[in-house]
Structure 1
């Protein structure tokens, strides 16, 4: 099965194109299933940024209604997902908010370490004087807390901390091993996010060594392009499927109504799904 569960919309303020254009691209490329997972309003979680990077609170109901309307005309299943920032200390509020909405799945992601949006290109200079070893320790500690929270179905772009190709001086193998142990205990799914191939690091999230650890201990995976433009839908997913197959994965996770179902990994894909 070839699916793309990480698709954004213009409402997040850093994507473009109409939802029907994303769907048309998925249908053209022969995807079996897609899911929109736009950024949950940070304003509802008590975060007020000078430059918005998520939906506004009054847009969430419209987003849900638009996905439901699109489902009626689509030739493939279109899932209602959402990407939610994990914010330490806001677990109870996050849980209260999420239970009010009919999401098929919820992606939990980390974009902030303290006050630093380390994924944003405008703040890349901070890497030059940051303690990268400490940053990795802090980031993966938050990933583990996020998994333990039980709030999310999927971990988004698991090792996105490498996005701008800054790496620790020391080995971070122990962080991979400990994180995988916690993910397994939490029974949470990991997405193979192909957008890393479009980022400075030129490597998917997570990398192959991380994925191999997931496969070794039975952590389920799903797939997403992190598309912010219609043409990015499905981008890199053929390559992702081949990597999963090489590592030993035979299934990918799909979601409906908050329930996970494992589907056969599909390798015979349309040639216009890009490598």
Structure 2
């Protein structure tokens, strides 16, 4: 049964751009990009299940998450959309394109390849669990708790976007941490579906990221044969590290498509 996702919709005419965040992210992380892109088109930013303000639910399979997005498109009466996904969100949009290609006008995949990856979030889970147990009263306490496990300040600031005020006071995580951690193996696995998506595709990758290396490109093109590859001077969070270059690359790609 699909989850009823939370979303931000700018309204407007034409084929919308649907933006899907990565692991531990949310639609809120994309507000500055949405504000810029909405000048030219309708933009819909989505909170995936167990993220942002969307409901918590068991199962983080890419088929299930793609079905959640399809159900949202149905609810909004959107027959077809441009899909942009970063990291885990990139696997969601690849899955959707494989499972329901008729719903996809184009794909923009940000710094992820359609393959399985190794485990590299152990310290993040440890930090989030420590924060959860510590019941911080404010953001400084939350940062101290996270910092006992997560040393990179930029990562702590990103994770702190998942904090909200608890009814009883203090701060709590709005993540569905239990189902995310229970299905972490699936999240790190390949996208759902089989075969390739041959429609217009842009793959943006970070020059300092290990997620889409040159060695991965032949396998990537088997799944996304029409992919244009563009490399930005950034790491994995390229949309945050190089926001203007990222926005401009997306705008150029979409402007070159006939709608």
- When the two structures are superposed, what TM-score results if normalisation uses the length of structure 1? 0.34
